[in-house]
């Protein structure tokens, strides 16, 4: 890793999901781990998240789901990432996600899923170990 390289993470909510506490907690956590977190806020569409990730040269996209729409939006986000040739970008999902959906999400193309109750250290470690910079 180059000396001055910082990990840049785009954190977003997607769709009609008004619960942003989790996304903010994760953002603070990654910030404390020395990363640059670009927070997009609520009510974003998959295409908006991807466009922001391009402009911001994000290494990681983190999406927080708390409204049960993870199986609907995840394929759309993965699709947009493919269209934009963002295969090198890590895609991490989190939030209130039933454990039985984790393997489905991974098959769809999510690199890792952290459900509610996840400890902070493994999240930071996963990002640092897997980011492709």
Partner 1 sequence: MEAKEWALKVRRGDRKAASKLISAIENKEKIARNVLKLLFYGTGKAVSLGITGPAGVGKSCLVSCLITAFRKKGKTVGVIAVDPSSPFTGGAFLGDRVRMMSHTRDDGVYMRSMATRGYLGGLARSTLDTMRVLEAMGKQVVMVETVGTGQDEIEIAQIVQTCLLVLTPDMGDDIQAMKSGIMEIGNIIVLNKTDLPGKEKALLDLETALRFRSPAEEGWSTPIVSTSASKGEGIEELMNEIEKHQAYLRTGEGLSKFAFKRAEKEGAVLLKDEIERAIFHGLKGTGLRRRYLEKIAGGEIDPYSAVEEVLSRFIKDSPQESIRPLNQKKAGG
Structure tokens at 21: 């506490």
Q: Rounded to the nearest whole angstrom, what is the least distance from the CB of residue 43 to partner 1 in the complex?
A: 8
Distances (CA, A) of 22 to 2, 50, 75, 81: 31, 20, 21, 23
Number of residues that bind partner 1 (CB under 8 A): 30
Q: Which of 14, 23, 26, 38 binds partner 1 (CB under 8 A)?
A: 38
Say whether residue 100 binds partner 1 (CB under 8 A): no
Task: Indicate the residue among 45 and 102 with the shorter CB distance to partner 1.
Answer: 45
Distance CA 85, CA 88 (A): 8
Structure tokens at 99: 């454990």
Q: Rounded to the nearest whole angstrom, what is the least distance from the CB of residue 65 to partner 1 in the complex?
A: 18
CA atoms within 13 A on the CB side of 90: 20
Q: Which of 18, 32, 82, 125 binds partner 1 (CB under 8 A)?
A: 32
Say whether residue 8 binds partner 1 (CB under 8 A): yes
Distance CA 133, CA 127 (A): 11
Q: Which of 57, 68, 98, 121 binds partner 1 (CB under 8 A)?
A: 57
Say whether residue 56 binds partner 1 (CB under 8 A): yes
Distances (CA, A) of 89 to 57, 60, 130: 9, 5, 10
Say whether residue 76 binds partner 1 (CB under 8 A): no
């Amino acid at each position: 890793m180059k000396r001055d390289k910082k990990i840049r993470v785009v954190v977003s909510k997607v769709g009609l999901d008004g619960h942003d506490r989790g996304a903010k907690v994760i953002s603070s956590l990654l910030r404390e781990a020395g990363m640059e977190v670009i927070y997009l806020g609520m009510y974003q569409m998959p295409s908006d998240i991807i466009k922001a990730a391009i402009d911001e040269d994000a290494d990681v996209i983190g999406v927080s789901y708390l409204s049960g729409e993870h199986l609907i939006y995840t394929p759309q986000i993965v699709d947009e990432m493919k269209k934009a040739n963002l295969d090198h970008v890590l895609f991490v999902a989190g939030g209130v996600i039933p454990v039985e959906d984790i393997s489905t999400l991974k098959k769809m193309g999510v690199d890792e899923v952290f459900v509610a109750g996840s400890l902070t250290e493994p999240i930071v470690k996963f990002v640092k170990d897997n980011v492709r910079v």
